[in-house]
């Protein structure tokens, strides 16, 4: 690629990231830089580095131009382990700081607050090096165009890169200009999607793309067959929907092996609940210990839906424990949810979560051997001389080994978990990133509401409603736009497309849980705002940033599904659902146009895992979803019954009386409650029980 060849001059060939332990440096706040005025916990972590970090703002951008200095744009997040390592090795080092401060304008960015900036420089990193990750460290011209980007570097390599960039700027600035132009063009062209060939909606195509996804599942341990192993909840939501449609054993096994593998693994906090971000191995044993709100919100919803489909009480247990974790450790009194827990405590990754066998012996006494056997604990340690609690043997085999009943084993494990949890609570806790992000909170709302449907726990509904009301009162502006962030009573960053898209989705879900049309009105207003302010006139996708935002070097669109589905795929779903509920056919057509644009990406070889949310919408256009209308005095009772079933691909709406919603209009009959099972606005004869409605949906 030409971009890569031109940029090669500024790339220092380095070995793969080393696993050196950080050299902790306590400068006792000898230094204070401009980040001290920020609210982001990640930025505040760097406020006392000797590097003269600045935040990304107009003043900083003007200073770079005025002094004609290259910019160092360093991007990370509070829970990022390798971000901490590079900080300790380089950014707390006075020699490195001197070089950075003298020759560059150093800028620190929290990627969770500014994903728009992160996307620009991550794309540059992938173009130049072929890979990405965090910490992300880019070097840019004074006008912010990148000329170099990479990830983690040890001090010696980072110093080499800086010195080489200084040398090139002094001796051959034209070379930098050429690289900046070409890399910027590459970033701009990375978002162009073209329709290739005829657009078709065919069950055979759906089968092919899902089977492609299934072909890469590890049917022994679960998850996508690669290392490191990420949960990728949206991939398995697609497979679960496909199983509901196809009723095949292979897709059921893919989902169940994955959910069982994660729940048994070290990626799941066996005594405290909640999931870590990913496992570094292929068996879910060794987690990267950071816990993110967006993972847990999605996984809670996935386990709740899987419980509906398979009626496995283990899935209910995992969902409930994870909600308890979120309530206990990541909830704000405002109603919002915090962003993450760090991987590190006391400068060591995972120290808060691991155990020595001797500690368990002293805490649990005569039951210690049973507990250790259950959680695969060894005397020498199952990970770096310590033990990660994880389950590798069936409970029945452990019970047989110790000649006890299963009920007795469960009691011993539950008692042991409580004892170890109490002891663990005395340890120094991992750092908390207590900023509140709109999109991530909306994911948690969705997880709570899906759990409310599955388990009938009204507290989950109330908690979701409290968070939703907080967002609408504290993170929504008078002009109808959203803030992205909130901390210490302050919201400062305008919302991006994912904030709107995921919140709209949560509002639609809330409507389906209580039939209060005010949520649909809010969703409709936010959708109109998106249509008016995020439109891309050149293709059927939305820009990630609003027309009101300060422009970056490129205005990009996010369309690839990852750990969190792409904002465009979520928005396409929203247009389809709202268009169906509100009879806005132009919104349904726009949704279909977005899928049309993406269809070539959906069906290309080995791409299904990165378009799984788009494929779910493709499924809706291939296999017509049900519209289930419940109308009458007992609508709430029937809704609760119906919500306990997994439908896979259905919209539920209703009212206890007359309603102006098109699908409900003229369906109310005094003193009666009926369920109307419809497809494409055509309804079958109404029935009065959930059982009969389910029969109509077979």
- Three-state SS for 327-387 is HHHCECCCCCECCEECCEECCEECCCCCECHHHHHHHHHHHHHHHHHHCCCCCCCCECCEE
What per-residue confidence (pLDDT) applies to 5? 34
Neighbours of 366 (CB within 10 A): 8
Ranges of H-type helices in 476-584: 497-514, 518-533, 567-582
Q: DSSP letters of 41-84?
A: HHHHHTTTSSS--B-SSHHHHHHHHHHT-EEEEEEE-TT-HHHH
pLDDT per residue over 526-584, tens digit each?
Answer: 999 999 999 999 889 999 999 999 999 999 999 999 999 999 999 999 999 999 999 99
Nearest Cα residue to 617 out of 645, 654, 587, 646: 587
Cα separation, 176 vs 520, whole angstroms: 51
Nearest Cα residue to 75 out of 135, 132, 6: 135
Give the angle 321-353-383 at the CA atoms, nearest 5°: 120
With beta carbons less than 8 A apart as the criterion, state whether 233 and 258 touch: no
Distance in angstroms between the alpha carbons of the first and the last residue of the chain: 52
Task: With cut-offs at 50, 70 and 90, classify the pLDDT of residue 15.
Answer: very low
Mean pLDDT of 14-43: 64
pLDDT averaged over every residue in the chain: 93
Task: With cut-offs at 50, 70 and 90, classify the pLDDT of residue 606.
Answer: low
Q: How many residues does the chain have?
A: 698
With beta carbons less than 8 A apart as the criterion, state whether 34 and 53 touch: yes
- Three-state SS for 278-292 is EECCCCCCCEECCEE
Cα separation, 195 vs 193, whole angstroms: 7
Residue 24 has pLDDT above 60, yes or no: no
Nearest Cα residue to 9 out of 147, 105, 144, 101: 147
Q: Where are the domains of the chain?
A: 2-189, 203-344+433-622, 353-426, 626-696
Neighbours of 462 (CB within 10 A): 12
Reduce the DSSP state of residue 476 to 3 states and report it: strand
What per-residue confidence (pLDDT) applies to 600? 81
The CATH superfamily holding the domain 2-189 is: Glutaredoxin (3.40.30.10)
What per-residue confidence (pLDDT) applies to 358? 96
Task: With cut-offs at 50, 70 and 90, classify the pLDDT of residue 2.
Answer: very low
* CATH 3.40.50.150 at 203-344+433-622, yes or no: no
Residue 228 preceded by cis peptide, ω within 30: yes
Cα separation, 634 vs 526, whole angstroms: 31
Task: With cut-offs at 50, 70 and 90, classify the pLDDT of residue 21.
Answer: very low
Cα separation, 531 vs 424, whole angstroms: 49
Give the containing element (helix H, strand E) for 626: strand 626-632
What per-residue confidence (pLDDT) applies to 609? 87
Cα separation, 315 vs 103, whole angstroms: 55
Q: What is the dihedral of CA 215, 219, 223, 227, to 10 degrees?
A: -80
What per-residue confidence (pLDDT) applies to 16? 30
136-155 burial code (b ≥16 CB/10 A, e <16): bbbbbbbebbbbbbbbbbbb
Contacts of residue 322, Cβ cutoff 8 Å, sequence gap at least 6? 273, 274, 275, 296, 299, 300, 303
- Rounded to whole angstroms, what are the CA distances from 688 to 626, 641, 676? 17, 12, 9
- Three-state SS for 482-501 is EECEEECCECCCECCHHHHH
pLDDT per residue over 462-472, tens digit each?
Answer: 999 999 999 99
- Rounded to whole angstroms, what are the CA distances from 1 to 125, 128, 130, 231, 546? 14, 9, 11, 32, 31
94-103 burial code (b ≥16 CB/10 A, e <16): eebbebbbeb
Is pLDDT larger for residue 347 or for residue 675?
675
Is pLDDT larger for residue 26 or for residue 279?
279
Nearest Cα residue to 80 out of 150, 133, 149, 27: 133
What per-residue confidence (pLDDT) applies to 658? 86
- Fold of the 353-426 domain: Arc Repressor Mutant, subunit A (1.10.10)
Mean pLDDT of 70-86: 94
Percentage of the chain beyond pLDDT 90 is: 87
Reduce the DSSP state of residue 198 to 3 states and report it: coil
195-217 burial code (b ≥16 CB/10 A, e <16): eeeeeebeeebbeebbebbbeeb
Neighbours of 588 (CB within 10 A): 18
pLDDT per residue over 639-673, tens digit each?
Answer: 999 999 999 999 999 999 988 898 898 889 898 99
Mean pLDDT of 305-321: 98
Residue 144 has pLDDT above 50, yes or no: yes
Cα separation, 654 vs 642, whole angstroms: 12
Strand partners, 10: none
Cα separation, 342 vs 443, whole angstroms: 20
pLDDT per residue over 212-253, tens digit each?
Answer: 999 999 999 999 999 999 999 999 999 999 999 999 999 999
pLDDT per residue over 608-638, tens digit each?
Answer: 889 999 999 999 999 999 999 999 999 999 9
């Amino acid at each position: 690629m030409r971009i890569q060849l031109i940029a090669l001059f500024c790339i220092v060939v380095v070995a793969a990231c080393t696993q050196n332990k950080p050299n902790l440096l306590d400068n006792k706040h000898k230094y204070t830089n401009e980040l001290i005025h920020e609210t982001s916990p990640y930025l505040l972590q760097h406020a006392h580095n000797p590097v003269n970090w600045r935040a990304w703002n107009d003043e900083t951008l003007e200073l770079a131009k005025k002094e004609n200095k290259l910019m160092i744009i360093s991007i990370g997040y509070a829970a990022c382990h390798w971000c901490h390592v590079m900080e300790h090795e380089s950014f707390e080092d006075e020699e490195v700081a001197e070089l950075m401060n003298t020759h560059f304008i150093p800028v620190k960015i929290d990627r969770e607050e500014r994903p728009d900036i992160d996307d620009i420089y991550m794309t540059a990193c992938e173009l130049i090096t072929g890979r990405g990750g965090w910490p992300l460290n880019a070097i840019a011209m004074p006008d912010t165009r990148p000329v170099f980007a990479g990830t983690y570097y040890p001090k010696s390599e980072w110093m080499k890169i800086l010195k080489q960039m200084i040398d090139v700027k002094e001796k051959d600035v034209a070379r930098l200009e050429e690289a900046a132009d070409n890399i910027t063009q590459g970033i701009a062209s990375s978002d162009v999607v073209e329709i290739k060939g005829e657009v078709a909606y065919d069950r055979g195509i759906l089968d092919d793309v899902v089977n492609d996804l299934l072909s890469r599942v590890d049917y022994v341990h679960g998850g996508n067959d690669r290392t490191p192993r990420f949960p990728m909840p949206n991939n398995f939501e697609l497979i679960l929907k496909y199983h509901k449609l196809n009723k095949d054993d292979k897709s059921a096994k893919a989902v169940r092996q994955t959910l069982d593998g994660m729940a048994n693994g070290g990626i799941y906090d066996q005594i405290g609940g909640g999931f870590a971000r990913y496992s570094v191995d292929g068996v879910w044993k060794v987690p990267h210990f950071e816990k993110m709100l967006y993972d847990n919100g999605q996984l809670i919803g996935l386990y709740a839906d899987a419980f509906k489909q398979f009626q496995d009480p283990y899935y209910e247990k995992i969902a409930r424990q994870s909600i308890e974790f979120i309530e206990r450790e990541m909830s704000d009194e405002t109603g919002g949810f915090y962003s993450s827990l760090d991987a590190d405590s006391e400068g060591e990754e995972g120290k808060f979560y691991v155990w020595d066998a001797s500690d368990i012996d002293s805490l649990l006494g005569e039951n210690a051997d049973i507990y250790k056997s259950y959680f695969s604990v060894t005397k020498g340690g199952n990970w770096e001389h310590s033990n990660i609690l994880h389950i590798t043997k069936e409970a029945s085999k452990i019970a047989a080994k110790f000649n006890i009943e299963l009920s007795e084993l469960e009691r011993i494990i539950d008692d042991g978990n409580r004892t170890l949890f109490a002891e663990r609570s005395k340890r120094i806790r991992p750092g908390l990133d207590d900023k509140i992000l709109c999109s991530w909170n909306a994911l948690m709302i969705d997880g709570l509401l899906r759990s409310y449907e599955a388990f009938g726990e009204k507290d989950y509904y109330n908690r979701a409603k409290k968070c939703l009301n907080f967002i609408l009162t504290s993170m929504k502006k008078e002009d109808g736009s959203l803030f992205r962030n909130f901390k210490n009573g302050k919201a400062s960053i305008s919302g991006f497309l994912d904030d709107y898209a995921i919140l709209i989705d949560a509002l639609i879900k809330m409507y389906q849980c209580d039939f209060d049309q005010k949520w649909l009105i809010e969703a409709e207003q936010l959708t109109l705002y998106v249509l008016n302010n995020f439109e891309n006139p050149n293709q059927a996708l939305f820009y990630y940033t609003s027309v009101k935002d300060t422009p970056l070097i490129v205005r990009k669109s996010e369309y690839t599904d990852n750990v969190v589905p792409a904002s465009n795929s979520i928005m396409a779903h929203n247009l389809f659902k709202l268009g169906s509920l509100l009879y806005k056919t132009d919104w349904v057509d726009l949704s279909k146009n977005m899928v049309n644009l993406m269809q070539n990406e959906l069906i290309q070889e080995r791409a299904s895992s990165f378009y799984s949310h788009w494929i779910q919408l493709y499924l809706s256009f291939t296999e017509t979803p049900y519209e289930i209308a419940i109308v009458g005095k007992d609508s709430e009772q029937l809704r609760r019954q119906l919500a306990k079933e997994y439908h896979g691909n259905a919209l539920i709406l209703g009212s206890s009386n007359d309603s102006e919603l098109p699908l409900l209009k003229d369906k109310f009959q005094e003193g009666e409650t009926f369920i109307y099972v419809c497809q494409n606005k055509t309804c079958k004869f109404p029935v009065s029980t959930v059982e009969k409605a389910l029969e109509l949906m077979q």
